[in-house]
Amino acid sequence: MTDVRADGPQTGGPSLRRVMGPKLLLFFVVGDIIGTGIYALTGQVAGRVGGALWLPFLLAFVVAFMTAFSYLELVGKYPRAAGAALYTNKAFGVPFLTFMVAFAVMCSGITSASSAAVAFGATYLAAFVKLPMVLVGIVFVIALALINFRGVGESVKANAVLTCIELSGLLIIIGVGVWAVINGDGEPSRLVEINTADKTWLVAITSATSLAFFAMVGFEDSVNMAEECHDPVRIFPKAMLWGMVIAATIYVLVSITSSLLVPAGDLAAAKSSALLTVLDVGAPGFPREIFSAIGLFAVINSALINMLMASRLLYGLANERVLPAVFGRVHPTRRTPWVSIIFTSAIAILLVSFVDISALGGTTALLLLVVFAIVNVALLVLRKDKVAHKHFRAPTAIPVLAAIFCLYLVSPLSGRPASDYTVGAVLLGVGVVLWFVNWLVKRGLDRRSERVG
pLDDT at 156: 63
Could you please state the CATH topology (level 3) that the domain comprising 22-452 is classified under.
Amino acid/polyamine transporter I (1.20.1740)
CA gap 206, 425 in Å, rounded: 21
Lowest mean pLDDT among 1-15, 39-53, 305-319: 1-15
Measured over the CA atoms of residue 392, residue 58, residue 25 and residue 345, the dihedral's sign is positive
Global pTM reads 0.80
Q: What pLDDT, on a 0 to 100 scale, did the predictor assign at position 162?
A: 77
pLDDT at position 72, please?
85
- Cα angle 242, 155, 274 (rounded to 5 degrees) comes to 65
Supply the pLDDT for residue 11: 44
The 10s digit of each residue's pLDDT in 301-319 is 778 778 887 888 778 777 7
Task: Kindly report, residue by residue over 82-132, the tens digit of the pLDDT.
Answer: 578 778 888 998 888 988 988 888 888 887 787 778 777 777 787 788 778
Using alpha carbons, select from 246, 361, 312, 344 the residue that is nearest to residue 84. Answer: 312
Q: Average pLDDT, whole number, for the chain? A: 82
Please compute the mean of the pLDDT values over residues 2-17 and round it to a whole number: 45
**85, 116, 32, 228 alpha-carbon torsion, rounded to 10°:** 60
Quick check: 81 pLDDT over 70?
A: no
Q: Return d(Cα 437, Cα 235) in angstroms, integer.
A: 39
Question: For the ranges 45-49, 128-132, 221-225, 393-397, which has the lowest average pLDDT?
Answer: 221-225
Above 90 in pLDDT, residue 194?
Answer: yes
Task: Please give the Cα distance from 336 to 147 (Å, whole number).
Answer: 11
156 or 57: which leads in pLDDT: 57
Average pLDDT over residues 179-188: 86
Amino acid at 282: G
Closest by CA to 381, choosing from 65, 88, 36, 19, is: 88
Lowest mean pLDDT among 42-56, 116-130, 256-270: 116-130
pLDDT mean over 427-432: 82
Residue 431 pLDDT exceeds 80: no
Statement: residue 422 has pLDDT above 50: yes
Which pLDDT value is given to residue 228?
65
pLDDT at 192: 93
Euclidean distance between CA atoms 434 and 442, whole angstroms = 12
pLDDT top residue among 263 and 357: 263
Query: How far is 125 from 133, CA to CA, in rounded Å?
Result: 10
Closest to 44 (Cα-Cα) out of 368, 366, 270: 270
Burial letters 321-331, b for 16+ CB under 10 A, else e = ebbbeebbbbe
**Residue 134: pLDDT band by 50, 70, 90 thresholds?**
confident
The answer to whether residues 258 and 57 touch, using CB atoms and an 8 Å cutoff, is no
The answer on pLDDT for 295 being more than 60 is: yes
pLDDT score for 5: 36
Q: Which has the minimum average pLDDT: 9-23, 143-157, 183-197, 233-247?
A: 9-23
The pLDDT of residue 232 is 67
Tell me how far the alpha carbon of residue 243 is from its chain's centroid.
Answer: 14
DSSP string, 115-139: HHHHHIIIIIGGGT----HHHHHHH
Bridge partner list, 20: 229
Which H helix or E strand runs over 74? helix 54-77
Q: How confident is the model at residue 255 (pLDDT cuts 50, 70, 90)?
A: very high
Query: Which of 42, 43, 37 shows the shortest CA–CA distance to 265?
Result: 43
Residue 55: per-residue pLDDT: 96
Residue 84: closest CA among 288, 331, 284, 378: 378
The Cβ of residue 395 has, within 10 Å, a number of other Cβ atoms equal to 10
- Domain spans in the chain, listed from the N-terminal domain onward: 22-452
Instruction: Flag whether pLDDT at 16 surpasses 90.
Output: no
